[in-house]
Amino acid sequence: MSSKTESKKWNMEAAKKLFQEYLKKSIEEKKKEVKLPENTVQIDNLNRQQTLERIYKLTDSLIDMIYENGRPSIKLPSRASANIIWDEENDLLLLGQQIMEKQFHSLGSVADMTRLMKVLEKVNELLIKDMHATKREIFYSSVQLFGDQKNSDKCIEDVATMLYTTRNSTHIVASAKGSCIGRLRIRDRNDIIDLEGLGSGGWTISPMLDNIEILESDAEFILVLEKDAAMIRLSEARFWRKYPCIILTAKGAADIATRMFLKRISKELQLPVFTLVDSDPYGHYIHSVYLRGSKRLSYESPFLATPDIKLLGVLTRDLEKYKIPNDCTIPMNQTDIKRTKEMLNEDFVKKNKAWETDLKLALKLKVKAEIQALSTFGFEFLTDQYIPEKLSTGDWI
Amino acid sequence: MKIFYKKDGGIVQLIDKEKMKEWSIELPLIFIEYIRNNQLKSYNDPKLKKEIEKYLDEVLTDVAIPGLIEVLDGDNVEEVNKALVRIEELAKKNIEMVKPIKPYVEKLVKKNNKEVKNLSNSIIDKFKKAERKKKLAEKRKIMQEKEKLFLAGNLSGEEYAKARKEYLILKE
């Protein structure tokens, strides 16, 4: 094993410049007045009280309908992709005019409506008690009524939509697996948590993000790692002490809570975000999920996606640049090739020429490599040279 | 977030004080103490430290103290007690921080609730001690000047004795 690590302190010039640009942009944006396009309604992240108020308003309107004609109904905005408008410039989720009406008195919809009202009742209970539940718990609150978790899951999404809010605002949360470490102090209800002082494991990202508030940070960028192994390396090197940053990982595919937390910290602190993933189609896909969100959850994408995220590495071009030995790379199999071709067909890849070029290079070389391949130059290479050099020179996509 | 610029081009971001207005009454004080005790020393920039100290003082006068006053003025004994415990802890560390609350604590001494009364009296005692300490420091300064004048022969023995007596009474 040869050591290529140079013992110097990189100035992170390119990353700092990007951060200054973001700060400037954010000050200018604060002065701008946001105007919603006609015939659209905004989807908001609400606090507990605001969500409860929307529930009361909805139930009041149902009672009024019962008194007026005895035929109550619920108007539900369509979650079809054609009705979802993401105003990327203002980072707002809007719903169009496609509305579905669900009748209480029709035999066809009685089961659906009962389930929907059951979920609404559970959401109301959670909000009043200031508690949170998972989708699975909601299903188990009335197994006979829901029959299958698919039915309760659908009702959960419907309740969020009819209240024009996100699922997290209804206190129904997804389980979390991510962790975070670095120059950040947060509040979880009445506890102040220092993310520098939690040992090498860091803080387990809470799915109850409505309880979390950012208090203080002197970080200058955020680093998102695909793998826990890379997190251990950076954590052991106390990377954030030398280079002020916040590091997080979802330990593989990006879960909702990790994406939502990343979105929160990057938006509130105006920090540039970089991903470090394996140099393979799956790593690129993980980066794309952080960037755009997954297709399944397009309704909540604006609350989950980080559109400005940069792909720091490991890029295919890095394999040549850093002369990664052949025995540290892996030949691509047919599935890898198929997935790379699929990635090349995505609009967001087509729009990003550097990304497209890198994926095409991967197809040409037919090789992939894990982040750990960099340790062929020594365990410190990742923390002392690879990441700092790329952040200093602006070598990202 | 409130942004503070470091000399080396870096920045420190602290939560905006407006957001703290929605917090429970003791939290802004916990936040101030936390930043003062744990973070300030890590910034390594005297100018930045001064600016952040100033911001923390603003948080205290604009958010923490008004929040406490609102509670002390109310009828919820449990909340009043909770607030008084926090004020007493704070008074032990820095009496100046809680000075704006003094008139409200003085009113609470007359209340019938024993716990409220005891806590209020304890805080008032701390104010009295702090005031005495301040007066003594002032007097000590004057006394030192008078000593210099007396030794130089510019002050009569009678005048010096009078000043010395006043100082000793206050000291006791």
pLDDT tens figures, B89-110: 878 877 777 777 888 888 888 8
pLDDT, average across residues A194-206: 90
pLDDT of residue A1 exceeding 60, the answer is no
Confidence label for A4 from pLDDT (cuts 50, 70 and 90): low
Q: Which of A218, A221, A246, A271 to mutate to test the interface with B (most CBs of B within 10 A)?
A: A218
Residue with tokens 């002390």: B72
Task: Look at residue A9 in the predicted model and tell me its pLDDT.
Answer: 73
Write down the mean pLDDT value for chain B. Answer: 87
What is the distance in angstroms between the Cα of A351 and the nearest Cα belonging to chain B? 32
pLDDT of residue A35 exceeding 70, the answer is no
Contacts for A394 with CB less than 8 Å, ≥ 6 apart: A13, A14, A15, A17, A18
Q: Spell out which residues of chain A touch residue B1, defining contact as CB-CB under 8 Å.
A: 214, 268-270
Q: Report pTM.
A: 0.82
Q: Closest residue of A to B24, CA-based?
A: A190
Q: Is residue B7 within 8 angstroms of chain A, CB to CB?
A: no
Task: Look at residue A23 in the predicted model and tell me its pLDDT.
Answer: 85
Kind of pairing, strands A172-173 and A133-134?
A: parallel
A285 carries an active-site annotation: no
Q: Is residue B11 within 8 angstroms of chain A, CB to CB?
A: yes
pLDDT of residue A2 exceeding 60, the answer is no
Q: Which helix (H) or strand (E) holds B3?
A: strand B2-5
Cβ distance of A218 and B30 shorter than 8 Å: no
Choice among A140, A282, A299, A386 that is catalytic: A140
Confidence label for A201 from pLDDT (cuts 50, 70 and 90): confident
Q: Which domains does chain A have, with CATH numbers?
A: 3-33+174-393 (3.40.1360.10), 48-173 (1.10.10.10)
Q: What CA–CA distance (Å, rounded) separates A158 from A172?
A: 13
Long-range pairs of A128-134 with CB within 8 A, sequence gap ≥ 24: A128/A52, A130/A48, A131/A171, A132/A171, A132/A172, A132/A173, A132/A207, A132/A208, A133/A171, A133/A172, A133/A173, A134/A172, A134/A173, A134/A174, A134/A175
Q: Spell out which residues of chain B touch residue A185, defining contact as CB-CB under 8 Å.
A: 34, 39
List the structure tokens of B136.
């003594």
Q: Spell out which residues of chain B touch residue A187, defining contact as CB-CB under 8 Å.
A: 27, 31
Specify the higher pLDDT residue, A362 or A93: A362
Q: Spell out which residues of chain A touch residue B14, defining contact as CB-CB under 8 Å.
A: 215-216
Considering only CB atoms, B15 lies closest to which of A190, A214, A218, namely A214
Confidence label for A298 from pLDDT (cuts 50, 70 and 90): low
What is the distance in angstroms between the Cα of A20 and the nearest Cα belonging to chain B? 9
Q: Is residue B35 within 8 angstroms of chain A, CB to CB?
A: yes
pLDDT of residue A36 exceeding 80, the answer is no
pLDDT of residue B152 exceeding 50, the answer is yes
Contacts for A185 with CB less than 8 Å, ≥ 6 apart: A192, A193, A194, A195, A214, A215, A216, A217, B34, B39
* DSSP labels, B6-52: -TTS-EEEE--HHHHTTS-TTHHHHHHHHIIIIIGGGS--HHHHHHH
Amino acid in position A138: I
What is the distance in angstroms between the Cα of A335 and the nearest Cα belonging to chain B? 45
Cβ distance of B43 and A194 shorter than 8 Å: no
What is the distance in angstroms between the Cα of A56 and the nearest Cα belonging to chain B? 22
Q: What CA–CA distance (Å, rounded) separates A310 from A313?
A: 9
CB A165 within 8 Å of CB A123:
no
Q: What CA–CA distance (Å, rounded) separates B166 from B136?
A: 10
Q: Spell out which residues of chain B touch residue A217, defining contact as CB-CB under 8 Å.
A: 12-13
Q: What pLDDT, in 10s, does the model give residues B12-53?
A: 999 999 999 988 887 898 899 899 889 998 888 899 999 999
Q: Which of A18, A211, A215 to mutate to test the interface with B (most CBs of B within 10 A)?
A: A215
Q: Is residue A130 within 8 angstroms of chain B, CB to CB?
A: no
Q: Please name which of B98, B35, B91, B31 lies closest in space to residue B68, comparing C-alpha atoms.
A: B98
Q: Cα-Cα-Cα-Cα dihedral of A207, A213, A218, A224, to 10°?
A: 20
What is the distance in angstroms between the Cα of A215 and the nearest Cα belonging to chain B? 5
Tell me: cis bond preceding A314? Omega within 30 of 0 counts.
Answer: yes
Q: Spell out which residues of chain B touch residue A46, defining contact as CB-CB under 8 Å.
A: none
